Structures are given as C-alpha cells and as structure tokens.
Amino acid sequence: MTWTDEAVDLWPMIEDEMRAWIGISLEDGDPVPVPDASAPKILHRGLPEDLDQRVRRRANADGVSVEQYVIRALATPVGT
C-alpha cells in the first residue's frame, strides 16, 4: 500500500510497489505476468508525430518515462 498528498509523487511510489511485488512473487515462486509489448500506447493514438516527438524529448530530458511525464503534465493544470 502507498499513499501521498501529491499526484506528482504517486507514479514513482507505484513503481516502487510494483518492483517490491515482483521481487516477493519471484522469491515465493509465484508467476509474474509479462507485459504485452504489442499493447497500444496512450500517446500513439492520434497524436501528431511532431507532438509525440516533443513529449518524448521532454520526458527524456526530465529523466522520466513518457507516461510519467504525461501524468505530471496533466496533473499540473488541475492543481494536484
């Protein structure tokens, strides 16, 4: 379980919890599902290529995944 007052802090905490769960599952011999690499990505649905490239560059410059960057960018205007 994880908790925070700030949405911007949530994704790194979720990633930590996922890593912990995977580690424990592997130690216990429980199956860990493999992500589906063919699953569609949020940003690839109808986004103009130039916008997609700018988002990827900014995420890379910030040292975060595209998903983390988008979550932070969406959270800022709504005041979270």
pLDDT tens-digit profile of 8-48? 777 788 888 888 988 999 999 998 887 766 654 555 556 67
Tokens 């103009």 sit on residue: 48
Residue of higher predicted confidence among 26 and 74: 26
Contacts of 12 (CB under 8 A, 6+ apart): 68
Is the torsion defined by CA of 50, 51, 57, 61 positive or negative? positive
Any idea where the domains of the chain sit in the sequence?
7-75
Residue 47: the pLDDT is: 66
Confidence of residue 56 (pLDDT cuts 50, 70, 90): confident
CA nearest to 2, candidates 27, 26, 25, 20: 20
CA nearest to 80, candidates 11, 28, 5: 5
Does position 68 have pLDDT exceeding 90, yes or no? no
Yes or no: say if 38 and 49 are a contact pair by the CB < 8 Å rule.
no
Full-model pTM: 0.42
